[in-house]
Amino acid sequence: MTAQATTDQHDHEVRQQVLKLVRQGYLVRARVEGWFEPPEVMNGYRPDIVAMKGDECLIIEVKKGDIDWPKIAALERFHVENPRYKLLVITLK
């Protein structure tokens, strides 16, 4: 992706993912101001969403553009070091 997604596009996608996860029964921590507790910091970065259901743990990051590479690299390292967590990176179009 060469162009950056807008903050509005990013926030809309985060909210859509959160609503989907809540409907599926996940306990969600998300960077949706005023609605959820934010996720914990992982390797120096706070992901957009952390969702848990039973033994399943998901980290979801909505990528705004190439500027996000340090954060995504840090979350990938966290995933490798903590294999119980699955990482999903969503790239906006």
Question: Any residues with CB less than 8 A from the CB of 58 and at least 6 apart, and which?
Answer: 21, 26, 49, 50, 51, 52, 85, 86, 87, 88
CATH number for domain 7-91, candidates 3.40.50.1220, 3.40.1350.10, 3.20.20.10, 3.90.220.20 = 3.40.1350.10
pLDDT at 3: 59
User: Which is more confidently placed, 33 or 61?
Assistant: 61
The ranges assigned to domains in the chain are 7-91
Question: How does residue 6 score in pLDDT terms, banded at 50, 70 and 90?
Answer: confident
* Dist. CA 70–CA 2, nearest whole Å: 16
pLDDT at 49: 98
Q: pLDDT digit string (tens) for 72-81?
A: 999 999 999 9
